[in-house]
Amino acid sequence: MDLGAGDGGYVLYRARTEPTSFAIALDASPDALTSGAWRAKRACLANVAFLVEAVERLSPELACIADEVTIHFPWGSLLHGLIDGSSAIVGPIARLMKDGAELRVLLSAGERDGLAELTPSVIASRSEDFAGHGLRLVDARWASGAIVAESRSAWAKRLGLSRPVVCARYSRCSSRRGRISDGMSPDLHGIHSTRNLPS
């Protein structure tokens, strides 16, 4: 699943190049997604879907649907929620993911977004907020040009090469690894376990 998918360019690419995978684009705005849906229809792609919904209002029916979740250059509430580790954003994302699934995020923010400088260390400092929902930080670093290009993001092109981008990867932990699979902290279940923090 690609969240905040815009025109769905990334899922269209994945659907074309991985015909045995099913790719889902989700965005709160129908305008850009409509363009992607028409492109998918013209290309006769049967392994892609476009969902209009905000992350905060994801249906429980989507629980544990995703082997992989990507978020490329979010803005608004999605951007702020990811940087702050907000439960209203991180919780629904975690619930989408199967045990062992990976979340990959590309973030770029500045003063225009009402945020302080965004660095890998800022993202790492929020790791405990994500861990509380069963998402273990695997890596947070500056994104290379190649990683940014792989996102197929039109927004990345608008940002230009000079704006720094942080790449973060998280792994969805199962209850067998010290986390509860519904995204709740073990403390809420009366379970005490070692926190899964990056080494």
Report the pLDDT value the prediction gives residue 193, as an integer from 0 to 100.
Answer: 30
Contacts of 74 (CB under 8 A, 6+ apart): 3, 4, 82, 105, 107
Q: Which two tokens stand for residue 81?
A: 């929620």
> Which of 77, 125, 75, 74 lies closest to 103 in space, CA to CA?
74
Cα–Cα dist 31/99, whole Å: 33
Query: Where do the domains of the chain lie, and which CATH numbers do they carry?
Result: 1-53 (no CATH), 58-189 (3.40.50.150)
Q: Cβ atoms within 10 A of the Cβ of 16, count?
A: 14
Report the pLDDT value the prediction gives residue 175, as an integer from 0 to 100.
Answer: 52
Report the pLDDT value the prediction gives residue 12, as an integer from 0 to 100.
Answer: 95
Whole-model pTM: value is: 0.83
Terminal Cα-to-Cα distance of the chain (whole angstroms)? 27
Cα–Cα dist 19/154, whole Å: 23
**What kind and span of H or E run contains 125?**
helix 120-125
- For residue 20, the SS3 value is coil
Report the pLDDT value the prediction gives residue 157, as an integer from 0 to 100.
Answer: 63
Residue 151 near residue 144 (C-beta atoms within 8 A): no
Q: How far is CA 185 from the centre of its chain?
A: 20
Residue 100 near residue 72 (C-beta atoms within 8 A): no
DSSP structural state of residue 27 = E
Cα–Cα dist 79/41, whole Å: 30
Report the pLDDT value the prediction gives residue 158, as an integer from 0 to 100.
Answer: 63
Residues of the chain with confidence (pLDDT) below 70: 110-111, 113-114, 155-162, 175-199
